[in-house]
Amino acid sequence: MTAKQAGIALLVLFAIAAGIAVASFPWHNGDSVTSTYIVAIAVSGVALVWGLAMFTRRWRWLAISFAAVTTIYAGALAYVFIHVLPN
């Protein structure tokens, strides 16, 4: 698989995760934020950053470094919002 194909696959994953986030958003009064919503937001953000990093050529090492740091922060924030902070 080439980097361009991986980038396209990750952008498709971004679209799917964004759709899940929209579907699980707490639209009505009394609804609460669910772990599905938090994980979908984290996955969509990470997939977007990694997908765009795969399209770069000249600064790919910098984009991959940024994507790796974003992945760590997204995972840590998702863990905090799901397990540490109660609803």
For the entire predicted model, the pTM comes to 0.84
More confident site: 56 or 71: 71
Integer CA distances (angstroms), 9 to 34, 71, 79, in order: 26, 17, 25
pLDDT digits (tens, 9 = 90+) for 30-43: 888 888 899 999 99
Count, residues in the chain: 87
Per residue in 68-85, pLDDT (tens digit) is 999 999 999 999 988 887
Q: How many domains does the chain have?
A: 1
- Read out DSSP for 22-48? HHTS--STT----HHHHHHHHHHHHHH
Range of the structural domain that residue 10 is part of: 3-84
